[in-house]
Amino acid sequence: MSITTSLRVVYSCVRCRAALVIRVTARRRARVNDWGMTNPTRNERASWIQGPSARCEPTPETVANPWRLILLGAPGVGKGTQADLLHQRLRACHLSTGDVFRAAGKQAQCDLSPAMKAALDYMRRGALVPDSTVWDMVRERSGCLHCGGGFLLDGFPRTLAQAESLKQLMETEGLALTAVVNYELPVNEIVARLSGRRTCEKCKAVFHLMERPPKVEGVCDRCGGGLYQREDDRPESIKVRLEAYDRSTAPLIEFYKRLGVLLSISATGAPEAICERTIAALTAWRAKCPARA
């Protein structure tokens, strides 16, 4: 089965730097997932990545019981990879704040607000972007939290202030969080994962030089795009990111434990095995707490 997909291609004019946006319509294969349902390989997440004026195509399908999840864990535990795999299985849309900043980093400098330019400087150093900038960006995209397919928040919230703001927003908008999945991994494995990680510049698929190498060196198995090492995966940034996690994000574990929504999952082993573990824990969780379904 094939699905029609629109892609936005952005060209930047060398003289006036104006951005030309061209829509390219392509047909691509849909996949049949493990439950026998057709499922596109990846949702383009346009409303999240480009902002609310962009439309997600294909529009995520509305499901009866959308999963509304937060993925927690230190940088390098594999939240992005899990979000990708969970999206294939649960349909929920992968909403990564890091992906929004990286997409902004590819825009012409003159298209960026002063706050976004400053945010990109923080990101390159591996430091956290100030809460006010992150929150403005998330609040602007709050429509994505109402997505009929549910959501998987990856990389947000990262501080107690962000977690409080999200809690208030969800309460005001009548949205219930299904659960918070906290991925756990020893620090030496985290460092090894981060330094070997390579990301596809086109579809954002994640590979690892040792654990999950691409079939052809430097080329994405999924879309043929080039693989690159994220600036913040270099050794000097890794140290800063892990310190920022300990100081600002680790306290969220206690925050969500107190709210009774925390599920801790071991992030050791192959990505597919971790995903199976997550699905099993989530299914048991829903069976135990149907009120959250």
Task: Give me the least distance between CB of 241 and ligand AMP, in Å please.
Answer: 5
Strands 150-154 and 67-72, bridge-based pairing: parallel
Half-sphere exposure of 125 (CA within 13 A, CB side): 10
Q: Which of residues 144-163 bind ligand AMP (CB under 6 A)?
A: 155-158, 162
Task: Give me the least distance between CB of 37 and ligand AMP, in Å please.
Answer: 29
Judged by CB under 6 A, the number of residues near ligand AMP is 19
CA distance 210 to 270: 12
CA distance 42 to 30: 9
| Residue number with CB closer to ligand AMP (50 or 96) | 96
With tokens 């379904």, the residue in question is 293
Q: Does the protein bind ligand AMP through residue 204 (CB under 6 A)?
A: no
| Residue number with CB closer to ligand AMP (66 or 98) | 98
Q: Which of 241, 245, 256, 263 is close enough to bind ligand AMP by CB under 6 A? A: 241
Instruction: Return all residues near 54 (Cβ < 8 A) that are at least 6 apart.
Output: 8, 46, 47
Q: Does the protein bind ligand AMP through residue 232 (CB under 6 A)?
A: yes
**Residue 61, helix vs strand vs coil:** coil
Q: Which of 48, 67, 101, 151 is close enough to bind ligand AMP by CB under 6 A? A: 101
Instruction: Judge whether 197 counts as a catalytic residue.
Output: yes
Handedness of CA 120, 126, 130, 133 (dihedral sign): positive
Q: Which residue has the CB atom at the shortest distance from ligand AMP?
A: 98
Instruction: Return all residues near 161 (Cβ < 8 A) that are at least 6 apart.
Output: 131, 135
5 in Cβ contact with 14 (< 8 Å) = no
| Residue number with CB closer to ligand AMP (48 or 156) | 156
| Residue number with CB closer to ligand AMP (128 or 190) | 128
Out of 42, 45, 102, 197, pick the active-site residue.
197
Out of 79, 91, 141, 193, pick the active-site residue.
79
Longest dimension (CA), the chain: 61
CA distance 244 to 141: 25
Q: How far apart are the first and last CA of the chain?
A: 31
Instruction: Judge whether 31 counts as a catalytic residue.
Output: no
Which of the ranges 45-53, 94-102, 107-115, 144-152 carries the binding residues for ligand AMP, by CB under 6 A?
94-102
Instruction: Judge whether 234 counts as a catalytic residue.
Output: no
Q: Does the protein bind ligand AMP through residue 135 (CB under 6 A)?
A: no
Q: Does the protein bind ligand AMP through residue 73 (CB under 6 A)?
A: no
Distance (Å) of CA 103 to CA 24, 106, 204, 226, 276: 19, 5, 11, 16, 30
Element (H, E) at 262: strand 262-266
| Residue number with CB closer to ligand AMP (57 or 99) | 99
How would you list the strands of the sheet with 227-228, edge to edge?
Answer: 206-208, 197-200, 227-228
Instruction: Judge whether 158 counts as a catalytic residue.
Output: yes
Q: Which of 70, 123, 185, 275 is close enough to bind ligand AMP by CB under 6 A? A: 123
| Residue number with CB closer to ligand AMP (85 or 129) | 129
Active site residues: 79, 158, 197, 230, 241
Contact residues toward ligand AMP (CB under 6 A) are: 75, 96-98, 101, 122-123, 126-129, 134, 155-158, 162, 232, 241
